[in-house]
Amino acid sequence: MIFDRNGNKEVIALLGAGSMGTAIVRKIAAGRKVLLGDISEKTLEKVSKDFQYSGYDVETCVVNALEKESIEAFAQKAAGLGKVMYFVDTAGASPNQASPEHILRLDMVGTGYAVDAFGNVMAEGGAGLLISSQTGYMHRLPDETEQQILSAPTEKLMDIPYIKETAVSSGLAYMIAKRVNHLQAQRAAATTWKERRARINTISPGIIVTPLAYDEFSAAQENYQKMIDASAAMRTGTSEEIAEAGVFLLGEHAGFVTGTDLLIDGGVIAAIRTGRYKLNG
């Protein structure tokens, strides 16, 4: 049976087929072509079946988000399917999953490669979304370092002295990488993505319950509980709540929004800045 005879569909590319990214894509996927990219063939098979059984038009691509060539091939495959109107990047590793170097190479450099690659294929009027983290607000970078990040080619980010000297633990590497994501979106919004008349933003989620998040909860349960209790919401968030915000930033009602970050953390950062919660406390 042919479920959809429409051609020339708009393309949605998702890098990192986890629960948060798929929740966003599901909300905008009807009538469009979805390209799922992930390093795990098993994950791609499972998620693509879930999409297909829900009536969506989906294809998959194995992508190593650490490798520039692999990400560029993913972007080119997306462009070969039609007008790339949406790009969502959720690929990354959490502090309890990887070494500092791996986190920087995946969450920082890999994300930069994705921003660069899709900056070459986005259609006019398209929109991109990077999933960062509330931790991007937890470690302030010197102004000089931020300027170096904004001007450095993606492949040179690992050579920036402050990053080399400071990202000595997985936690610090993660905080730095997520702040760099904000800056990567700012630079792209003003340069390469602007040239294609496309927008790009970031979302910084707080404590969101996902399957992968349970690794973090198990490793630092007490600290997470204190953070939840100190927040204004006094609860964790859900992928669906992030998806609602993602749909807004990707959609027409956010046509004047680009190069910015939306913090969705239930008030954790507010608690930190007012002294109601102390990091590592």
3-state secondary structure of 34: strand
Residue whose structure tokens are 């959720």: 90
Q: Which residues contact 130 (CB under 8 A, 6 or more apart)?
A: 89, 111, 115, 181, 184, 185, 200, 201, 202, 203
- pLDDT confidence of residue 3: 80
- pLDDT confidence of residue 219: 67
pLDDT digits (tens, 9 = 90+) for 174-217: 999 999 999 999 999 999 999 999 999 999 999 999 877 777 77
pLDDT digits (tens, 9 = 90+) for 109-168: 999 999 999 999 999 999 999 999 999 999 999 999 999 999 999 999 999 999 999 999
**pLDDT at residue 281 above 50?**
no
**For residues 206 and 185, what is the distance between their CA atoms, to the nearest angstrom?**
19
Spell out the domains of the chain, with CATH numbers in brackets.
11-210+238-267 (3.40.50.720)
Catalytic residues: 174, 178
CB-based burial label for 158 (10 Å; 0-12, 13-18, 19+):
middle
Is there a contact between 32 and 10 (Cβ–Cβ < 8 Å)?
yes
What is this structure's pTM?
A: 0.96
pLDDT digits (tens, 9 = 90+) for 248-266: 999 999 999 999 999 999 9
